[in-house]
A and B are shown apart, each in its own frame.
Chain A
Amino acid sequence: MLQHQIVQSPAMLGLANPNSPSIPNPTPPKLPPTQTHHPQDRNSSTPSSALLSLLPPHLRAQALLAQMASLASKLFEVSPNRSLWVTAFRGSLPTFLSSHSSTPLDTSPSDGKEIISLFTVLQTQIFEAIAELQEILDLQDAKQKIDCEIHSQDSTLLAFANKLKEAESCLDILVDDYSDYHRSKRSKSGDDDSMTSSTISSQLKLSDMLSYAHRISYTTFAPPEFGAGQAPLRGALPPAPQEEQMRASQLYNFADLDVGLPKEVETKEKIVEAIVEPPPQVDTNTVPNLSAFQGMLPPMPPGWKPGMPVQLPIDLPLPPPGWKPGDPVPLPPMDSLQIPRFAEQQMQPHIPQPKQPEVIQVQPVNLDLGGSDTSDYSSDDASSDDED
């Protein structure tokens, strides 16, 4: 150990030059490894040094600085010229870091060389402590940056949460508007249904009722005398409608009325009116109807007017013996009679059938009445005119 120290001392003394005290000593930036430091520490064999290495870097640096100051002050005490320095400083030797002058040293160096070697060890240790402090400061700076980034991330999350809340409120408003629109749409469709149903029901009921009433009234109505049983059914066969039946029908007068229904309903009413058309042709009271039938009947005598009696031809054939109303009548083979019947069939085929029974029924009545009173004859002619 002493040889090691002796070897180091001359080199340092050689490097040190009293003429230039302010020149800094270049020390390599990299500190010696820990393994190299431990042997030196063990060589010192001081328990305080061992405990010192366990301190945190800041406290360790403070303790090391105090020991270095004490060692520097120790130089004056171990100097051969101590009496000279005491005289120069007037009794009190100078001290470094006066606030830490009371720090005790672990060892008692006897000369300057030993102090320099101890100082070298302390210099190495304080460099390590300072390096650790620097590392702590760097890590602390890095942590500060991370904290700033955390703060910015939190701000971003807060802004996102606010935007999300605004979006939620907008969606709530849209949902409310949509629900109102949906309700209004439903009410509109309901109105359409009600209109459609009302139209269908009105068409069905009104047109069907009218057509049904017309049909049943014309085909089933009977004269009150016949219904009551007071008079026999004369001049008509059910269910065919007759003049008396049609006159008694109350709905006959409504056939031409305009009810004010839509076009479809009017079309149906026109069809109903077409069914009603045949009865006016059968009516013989009006003059145009009589003029239409003139072609079929024999020509009227000159000067005749409606209401005047008509004299029937005398040469008509008599009914066969034993004939009664309702019995079939064989037609005579005369050409004059056949020709007008054929003309009737050509002009109006459906009218001749009811026409024949009327002609046949009139003859016996005329013969019986012609033989008796004149007034009875005139009344029979009027009735025959009505029938024709």
Chain B
Amino acid sequence: MDHYGSSGGSWTMIPTHNSQSQSNQDPNLFLQQQQQFLQSQPFQQALAPQSPFQQQQQQRLLQQQQQQQQPQNLHQSLASHYHLLHLVENLAEVIEHGTPDQPSDALINESSNHFEKCLQLLNSISGSISTKAMTVEGQKKKLEESEQLLNQRRDLIGNYRKSVEDLVRSEPVENVVL
């Protein structure tokens, strides 16, 4: 499945609210707006205490992520945020053979910011799914239940349509009788 994320932010939240029974659209929109409002606050708070130098670093990271995100689908764009191995390898190299200086400090801060970003992304994902304990099998079962409900309605509509067609077809005969 191909899903292209929006180019506006670092991560595109998919607002969905599951409910087996029928629910009106208005409460759903209200819940979606509430979630967006709550999730946007911690991200802004995290940015406030950073220094100008760190902000520049983060902007550069955001640009790189945006470039990577646009041509790829959401699956890879989501996984690309968790490429932590190269950061840790560079960090290990600096820690073992380097000395405390400006580049090493920058690398340490970059790694720390990346870990924090991964954690925030994970928290926002938890807001998107119904429960933290949700698994792929569980979600598949829910999807199958929804598909069954949809098929029931399609069958009902098909039956009603057939009944109406029968009535319309027999109507001229009734007119002749009248």
Q: State in angstroms the CA–CA spacing of A2 and B146 once bound together.
A: 51
B95 touches A59 (CB 8 A): no
Q: How far is the CB of B68 from chain A (nearest CB, A)?
A: 8
List chain A residues, Cβ under 8 A from B25. Answer: 151
A-contact 0/1 string along B78-111, CB 8 Å cutoff: 1110111110111111111111100100011011
Q: How far is the CA of A25 from the CA of B143 in the complex (A)?
A: 36
Residues of the B chain whose Cβ atoms lie less than 8 Å from the Cβ of A59:
132-133
Interface size of A as a range: 35 or more
Give the contacting residue for A72; candidates B3, B68, B91; CB below 8 A. B91
Question: Could you tell me if B1 and A75 are in contact, using CB atoms closer than 8 angstroms?
Answer: no
Residue in A96, A133, A160 whose CB lies within 8 Å of B125: A133
Q: In the bound complex, what is the Cα–Cα distance between A127 and B84 (angstroms)?
A: 10
> A27 vs B130: C-alpha distance in the bound complex, in angstroms?
30
Which of chain B's residues have a CB closer than 8 A to the CB of A12? 89
Smallest CB gap from B65: residue in A:
A24
How many angstroms from the CA of A21 to the CA of B103 in the assembled complex?
Answer: 9
B112-141 interface code vs A (CB 8 A; 1 in, 0 out): 100110110010011011101111100110
Interface 0/1 of A53-71, CB less than 8 Å to B: 0001111011001001101
Cα distance A79–B134 when bound, in Å? 40
A144 at the interface (CB under 8 A from B): yes
**In the assembled complex, A255 has its CB within 8 A of some CB on chain B:** no
Residues of B within 8 Å of A13, CB to CB, are: 93
Picked from A72, A139, A149, the residue with its CB within 8 Å of the CB of B111 is: A72
Q: Is the CB of A139 within 8 A of B136?
A: yes
Residue in chain B with minimal CB distance to A97: B115
The answer to whether the Cβ of A132 comes within 8 Å of any Cβ in the partner chain is yes
| A222 proximal to B (CB < 8 A) | no
Residue contact B93 to A18, C-beta cutoff 8 Å: yes
How many angstroms from the CA of A57 to the CA of B116 in the assembled complex? 19
Say yes or no: is A218 at the interface (Cβ < 8 Å to chain B).
no
Give the Cβ gap from A21 to chain B, nearest Cβ, in Å: 4
Residues A137 and B125 in contact, CB atoms below 8 Å apart: yes
B136 touches A97 (CB 8 A): no
Q: Does A297 contact B (CB under 8 A)?
A: no
Contact in complex: A58, B134 (CB < 8 Å): yes
| A85 CB contacts on chain B under 8 angstroms | 95, 100
Give the contacts of A134-186 with B (CB-CB under 8 A): 134-144, 146-147, 149-151, 153-154, 156-157, 160
Given contacts A137-B125, A140-B18, A153-B157, contact A16 B93 (CB under 8 A): yes
Residues of A within 8 A of B95 (CB): 75-76, 79, 81, 85, 112
Q: Are B88 and A119 in contact (CB under 8 A)?
A: yes
Most chain B CB inside 10 Å of its own CB: which residue of A16, A24, A136, A154: A136
| A123 and B85 within 8 A (CB) | yes
| Cβ 8 A contact of B82, one of A79, A126, A156 | A126
Rounded to whole angstroms, the CA-CA distance of A71 and B84 in the bound complex is: 12
- Pick the interface stretch among B33-41, B47-55, B148-156: B148-156
User: Are B143 and A146 interface neighbours, CB within 8 A?
Assistant: yes
The reply to whether the CB of A120 lies closer than 8 angstroms to some CB of chain B is yes
When distances are taken between beta carbons in the complex, the residues of chain A under 8 Å from B150 are 146, 149-150, 153
**Which residues does A use to contact B, with CB under 8 Å?**
12-13, 16, 18, 21-25, 27, 29, 56-59, 61-62, 65, 68-69, 71-72, 75-76, 79-81, 84-85, 87-89, 94, 96-97, 99, 112, 115-116, 119-120, 123, 126-127, 130-144, 146-147, 149-151, 153-154, 156-157, 160
Closest 10 CB pairs of A and B: A88-B100, A25-B86, A153-B153, A96-B115, A139-B139, A146-B146, A144-B16, A112-B92, A21-B90, A123-B85
List 10 A-B pairs, Cβ < 8 Å: A24-B86, A27-B83, A58-B132, A96-B112, A138-B75, A139-B139, A143-B18, A146-B143, A150-B153, A157-B153
In the complex, given contacts A65-B115, A68-B115, A141-B14, what are 19 additional A-B residue pairs having Cβ atoms less than 8 angstroms apart?
A: A22-B60, A57-B136, A58-B126, A72-B111, A76-B95, A85-B100, A89-B100, A97-B116, A116-B89, A119-B84, A123-B85, A126-B84, A138-B3, A139-B140, A140-B18, A146-B147, A147-B146, A153-B157, A157-B156
